[in-house]
Amino acid sequence: MQLVVARVGRAHGIKGEVTVEVRTDEPELRLAPGAVLATDPASTGPLTIETGRVHSGRLLLRFAGVTDRNAAEALRNTLLIAEVDPEELPEDEDEYYDHQLIDLDVVTEDGTEVGRITEISHLPSQDLFIVERPDGTEVMIPFVEEIVAEIDLEEQKAVITPPPGLIDDRAEIASTRDAGAAGDES
C-alpha cells in the first residue's frame, strides 16, 4: 500500500536540497537516507534520498541525481510516496495511519450516528476528520483527545464527545449582555 509521507517545498541553497512538508509521524523511518520513494506526479520519480538534515526547524532533503537549484526547484509540490505493508502498525498504540481511519463509522458516546470518515486533513496545528453525514453533507471533527474518545479498529468506529455546535446547530451562546438592553432607553 502507498502512503504520502511528504510534499516537496522550495529549493534550499544551490546544491540541490529541498525543504519538505512532512506528512508522516515517522520521518526518521520513511525519509531516511537510502529510502526510495514513488512520486506524484510519477514522471518526477522514483526519488532516492541521499541526505537529510534539519535546518531552522525544517527538514531538508537531497535526492540522488538532483545536484543544483534548478533541478531541486523542478521538484516543487511533488508528493513523496512510501510503499508500506498494510499490516504494519505505528509503534505508539495511540497513533494510526490514514488508511486505518478512512471509512470508520463516527458515533457519539450515546451511539448516535454522525457519519463516515472520508478523508484526513493534516493541518499544522492538528489533524481533522472529514466526515460525510448520512444526508451527504460534511462535518470536520478535530482529531484531538478531548473530542475523539475512542478509535475501535475491530468495530470499525470512532467514538466522539463533540462540544455543542460541532456537529449540530445547537451551539451554546454565552453572553454577558442582556439582549434587550442595547438602545432600549425609552
For residue range 15-72, list pLDDT tens digits in order: 999 999 887 777 787 888 999 999 989 888 899 999 999 888 888 999 999 999 999 9
Mean pLDDT of the chain: 83
CA angle 35, 36, 38 (to 5 degrees): 135
Does residue 168 carry a pLDDT above 80?
Answer: no
- Please, which residues have CB within 8 angstroms of residue 64's CB and are 6 or more apart in sequence? 47, 48, 49, 50
Residue 5 pLDDT class (50, 70, 90 cuts): confident
Please state the pTM of the whole predicted model.
0.56
The arithmetic mean of pLDDT across residues 165-185, rounded, is 56
